[in-house]
Amino acid sequence: MTPTRPMPLTRDLVLIGGGHTHALLLRRWGMAPLPGARLTLINPDPTAPYTGMLPGHIAGHYDRDALEIDLVRLARHAGARLVLARAEGIDRDAQRIHLPDRPPLAYDLVSLDIGITSDLPELPGFAAHGASAKPLAECAARWRTFCERVAAGQARPEVVVIGGGVAGVELALAMAHRLRALGVRGSVTVLEARPEVLPGIGDGARRALLAHIARFGVALETGARVASLGADAVELADGRRLPAAFTLAATGPRPHPWLAQTGLALNDGFVTVDGYLRSVTDPAIFAVGDCADMRETPRPKAGVFAVRQAPFLHHNLRAALSGGRLRRYRPQRDYLKLVSTGGKGAVADKWGLRLDGGWLWRLKDGIDARFMGKLRDLPAMQSAPLPREIADGVRAEVAGGKPLCAGCGAKMGAEALTGALKALPAPARADLRSGPGDDAAILDHPAGAQVITTDHLRAFTEDPWLMARITAVHALGDVWAMGAAPQAALATVILPRMSAALQARTLSEILSGAGAVFAKAGADIAGGHSAMGAEFTLGFTVTGLAAGRVVTKADARPGDALILTKPLGTGTLLAAEMAHAARGPDIAAAWASMAAPQGAAAALLAPQAHAMTDVTGFGLAGHLMEILDASGAAAELDLAALPLLSGAADCAGAGHASTLAPANRAALAERLGAPETPEAALLVDPQTAGGLLAAVPAGRAEELCAGIRAAGLGATAVIGRIVAGSPRITAA
């Protein structure tokens, strides 16, 4: 049987924005990806809120997680890279998307689903004192903080909503319900510049909503024009001041300003598209959802159209990338609008009927639950069955069907590595201070000592720029741990098969991401080697110069305090993410932790440390045991003091672990004494770009931790101490 040959990548499809249409497209793409197309999603956050459930969240019926679309999970399902950034512009001539703090991203085809905003930047005081209903994430977060302050008696329950359309009234009712549930007598006022509220809605639904407004005591001010916002009041154009501790703008759809700089045809700032959802100006650009203006079939901004655009966008993007025929999208003329009424009730608007009651809430809740369920319950991708005839031992190696982890989780176990290294001869060079098994080579140098180390990682994210930053930090770990100043780096890059154009784009992203890390550390990328292979793998060989003492693992002393500079849990979180079981925000936080450099921490620790290493593939316990073996001492760890990445203990408690964790545990045999808890399980979790582990004089430990936290590694903590005894770790 001839093995399946992976298709070379030849085209870049970039989705800007994690709106509803793009979320549904990612689900479809994962079930049937287009061979040869590299898919990228750009979004500022790892999750995107579902607009239909925002009023229910504001009212307190749903928690925040209930309305979050996890884009990390969807990207994993679709085989897409997720770039956590906010697009700032498109250079259509160069076919580049501009992003803050990283180089432009190239595209062959791009789709926009960035939604709308209700910001009022021209209103004096709004930036400092106002909140916008859209984007939703910030609105939800600020409302939650306000409610907590009201409940604690730290804020007055006075709310003003600017905008008396359906969205403004629905949110005002939700806020009134929430304040009532908090047990406070609050005030909610809706300001509308037009002569009446709720324009554009049927008479029956309007009468029903006005009745609910009266029931909650929500005040309506029509013909009211806002002049400015203050910290505790809204000032109107007629001179009146309305008390307001929370002011929300729900003034209708406003386009994102940067669209005006793209040169695309716009209508009121929204991208004009044809019946194929393609820009009428540029066939390489599509737009959907609220940011699009459908020239042939104009419709109001509503989520129902975004949802129904998804299959057409999916088909048309694939067709545009492969030379197929596009399909025309024809939206329905009218749709059922369900407007929640604060409590668990709703009003329906269609054909001018008046329908009101709890059964409509249940209908709406069911529709929302089905939509979110579709994006959460992703179809499991079945692994290929084993051949009928296989060599002995294969089934044991693939037991459980768990794929090989990436990052440090893909490394060999300590026992296999140690056994192989024992066969190496002793160093023959007189100027080589280190031997087989050391993390880095130490060579005599006229200025002191030069350290040389190398490390590489199997990619765990499809974003080459982010992967390069993390790999650079990871490779620098041994140099920093020895108290050396980084000098130069050589790159080893293995890319999956792709066209020459995509090779150039990818290498540019890698060198940009890694180059910035090395430059900040005082080193330069001097060259390297590149090749094509089965999967993306990246590594660096790094040199460093130690003008004074080289810090090793061999001089930890009883009484020393143990400092760890980064939280644990990367291996467990990455394994859980591969299984679609980790939360997107937790993975984003883990990426940020891995990408955080440690040069400043090393500069503070090295002069004081008796022993130091970086925590990587063998986990905290494994690397601590190396210090103990070299120093002839034991250690006691305080499990409660361990800094942990958000979600790591939960994932460990659910049984998720890296494929390397069992080997790490076995290598410690009976020398690790710890309870069977999720926190203790993370002691053997392989860390990618993990923290520095230093044994320092106890009297200096807290001062050093404070300095390192101030330098940017906020999770730094004292986690235990060195004690007399044979090498052993006791954790409690």
Positions marked catalytic: 408
Question: CA 510, 516, 521 angle in degrees (round to 5)?
Answer: 125
Cβ pair 42, 466 in contact under 8 A: no
Strand partners of residue 112: 16, 287
* DSSP single-letter state for residue 699: G
**Cα–Cα dist 375/75, whole Å:** 11
Torsion angle (degrees, nearest 10) of CA 650, 653, 658, 661 = 130
- Which 3 state secondary structure label does DSSP give 38? strand
Please report which helix (H) or strand (E) contains residue 485, including its range.
strand 485-496
Strand partners of residue 561: 696, 721
- Which residues have a Cβ under 8 Å from the Cβ of 126 and sit 6 or more positions away? 119, 120, 229, 249
Alpha-carbon dihedral sign for residues 525, 529, 532, 536? negative
CB-based burial label for 79 (10 Å; 0-12, 13-18, 19+)? middle
Report phi then psi at 568, rounded to 5.
-90, 160
Tokens (6 digits) for 142: 């600020």
Burial 105-120 (b: 16+ CB within 10 A, else e): bbbbbbbbbbbbbbbb
| Amino acid found at 471 | T
**Cα–Cα dist 56/370, whole Å:** 16
**Cα–Cα dist 79/29, whole Å:** 8
**Cα–Cα dist 455/540, whole Å:** 6
Length of the chain: 732
CB-based burial label for 558 (10 Å; 0-12, 13-18, 19+)? middle
Cβ pair 570, 646 in contact under 8 A: no
| CA distances (Å), origin 432, targets 158, 428, 461, 613, 614 | 72, 8, 37, 19, 21
* DSSP string computed for 191-221: EESSSSSSTTS-HHHHHHHHHHHHHHT-EEE
**Cα–Cα dist 41/72, whole Å:** 10
| CA distances (Å), origin 296, targets 110, 280, 286, 299 | 21, 11, 15, 10
Please report which helix (H) or strand (E) contains residue 730, including its range.
strand 729-731
Residue 238: count other Cβ atoms within 10 Å of its Cβ. Answer: 9
Cβ pair 598, 692 in contact under 8 A: yes
CA count, 13 A, side-chain hemisphere, 187: 12
**Cα–Cα dist 50/71, whole Å:** 12
**Cα–Cα dist 330/314, whole Å:** 15
**Cα–Cα dist 187/161, whole Å:** 11
